[in-house]
Amino acid sequence: MKIKEGQRFPLTIKRMGIDGEGVGFFKRQVVFVPGAIPGEEIVCEVTKVRGKFAEGRIVKLRQKSPDRVAPPCPIYEECGGCQLQHMTYGAQLREKKDIVRQAFERYTKINLEKLDFKDTIGMEEPWKYRNKSQMQVGHHQGKTIAGLYSSNSHRLIDLKDCIVQHPQTNKVTGVVKQLADDLKIPAFNERKRTGVLRTIVTRVGFETGEYQLVLVTAKKEIPRVELLIEEIRRRLPDVTSIVQNVNPKKTSLIFGDETYTLFGKEKIEETMSSFRFNLSPRAFFQLNPVQTKKLYDEAKDAASLTGKEKVVDAYCGVGTIGLWLADGAAELRGMDVIEESIQDAKRNAEAHGVKNALYVTGKAETWLPKWEKEGWHPDVVVVDPPRTGLDQSFIETLLRVKPNRIVYVSCNPSTLAKNVNDLTNGGYRLKSLQPVDMFPQTAQVECVVRIEKK
C-alpha cells in the first residue's frame, strides 16, 4: 500500500539522514522527518511523496529523545542554515559518525569493523566558529535585509545575529545593510534584474583580527561609492580591506570575474599555528580555523611522512594543507584550476621559507601523467576536493600513477565512499577513517581517510 500525502501514522526514528533529518520506515518505505532524532517515537504527517521515499513532519512527540534540547537560535526553524541545534552536541558527534558509516554501507562492501574507524573529533566551544559569511541582499517592507534563503524556498531570512558566525561578520553585515538604506543603494532583484547590491561577504582572521568586506554587485557602478567607503571606514575604523566584486550573470555562484580594491589591502592575513596565510577575496580557505588545525593534523598523521616522500597536494587552493605537510616531505607539488589561488600558494610557500614546493595552475589529471613521463613519481597524494568528490578522470589517473598512499580529506561522505570504492576496486585498501566536525550545529561532516596500495 502506497503512502499518501496528508496521511498520519506512528513512526520510530532509526537513524539520521545525510541532511540531518530523522529517518524511519513505514510499511517498508523510507520516511524523512526534519527535526526528528534517532530513538524518538513520533506521530508523522506526510508532506511529500517522492517515488521510493516520503517526507514528513512531526505532529506529536510520543517519546522524546534524551538528546533533545531547545535550539538557542530564535529563527532556527525558519532559517535552515543549521539543522542540528535541537540536539545535544555529544549526540551530534555520534550521529555524524553514523552518517559516514551509512555512506560506506551504501556504496562499498568494506567491513568497517576491520579498520581504524574513530569517533568524530568535536569542538570545545561549538559556536561562533565561522570566519566567513556570505549574506544575500534583498528588500523587505522598504528596508534592506541580508541573510540566507529559507530551506526549500526563495524567501530571504534576515540574519541579524547568527550564533555560528564570528561576531565581527554579523557586525559588518549590519553596518552595510544600514548604509545601503541611508545612501539608497538598491538591492539586486534577481527576477527583475534591477538594483545593485547582491551579496555581502565578510571574512575575519581569527588570530590576526584583520577583516575584509567584499561587496558583490550586479554592475560596476555603485551609487555614492565614495561616501559609502567613507561611512564604512567611519563606522568600522579597523576594517583592513574593502573590495568590490562584479557579478552581472544569472547564476547561483556568488563571485564574478572582476574584483577591485576600494580601500586598504587587497588581501587579509590569517595565522594557523606557525603559518601565516594571505587570503584574496575569492581564495578558498577553511571556514572553521579552530577545527582546521585538527583536520590538518589528522591528514599529516595519515600521510606518515619520513622526510623522503614526494608529495602531491591536488586541489591545493592557497596551499594550506600542503604547507602543513611540507616539513615531512622531500618535495611538494600542488595544483589548482584557480590561478589566484596558485599565486597565493606560491607567496605562502615563500613567506614560510618552504623551498621544496612547486605550484602549477591546472588539473591533477593533466600534471600527474606529465610528471610521470619526466620520471617524477609521487609517493603520497593528498586530495581535498569539493563536495562533488574526485573526477572520474582523476581517479583513473591515480590508478595509473599508483602512489603508495592517498590521503583523502572529504566534506561529503557519499562522494567519499563512492571514490574509495573505485580506488579499492583498483588495487588500494582503506586503512583508516576519521570524522571531524568542522560545522557544529549542521549536518555536515568532514573525514580524513588513509588509503594504501595493496
361 Cβ contact partners less than 8 Å away, ≥ 6 residues apart: 335, 336, 337, 338, 339, 342
Cell, residue 5: 500525502
How many residues are present in the chain? Answer: 454
Q: Residue 391 CA to chain centroid, in angstroms?
A: 18
Measured torsion, CA atoms of residues 44, 45, 48, 53, in degrees rounded to the nearest 10: 30
Choose the catalytic residue: 73, 79, 162, 411. Answer: 411
| Residues ≥6 apart with Cβ < 8 Å to 40 | 12, 13, 22, 61, 62, 63, 64, 65, 68
CA 359 to CA 366: how far, in whole Å? 14
Beta strands at 329-336 and 258-264: parallel, antiparallel or unpaired = unpaired
82 is catalytic: no
**Complete DSSP assignment for 135-173:** EEEEEETTEEEEEEEPTTS-PEEE-SS-TTB-HHHHHHH
* 8 Å CB contact between 49 and 31: no
Q: Where does residue 40 rank: exposed (0-12), middle (13-18), buried (19+ CB within 10 A)?
A: buried
Q: Please answer whether residues 254 and 265 qualify as being in contact, where contact means their C-beta atoms are separated by less than 8 angstroms.
A: no
Helix, strand or coil, per DSSP, at residue 357: strand
β pairing state of 241-246 and 211-217: parallel
Tell how far CA 338 is from the center of its chain. Answer: 18
Query: Torsions phi, psi of 404, nearest 5?
Result: -65, -40
Q: How far apart are CA 151 and CA 123, in angstroms?
A: 26
Using only C-alpha atoms, what is the Rg of the chain?
24
The angle that helices 225-235 and 167-182 make with each other, rounded to 10 degrees, is 140
Residues with a catalytic annotation lie at 411
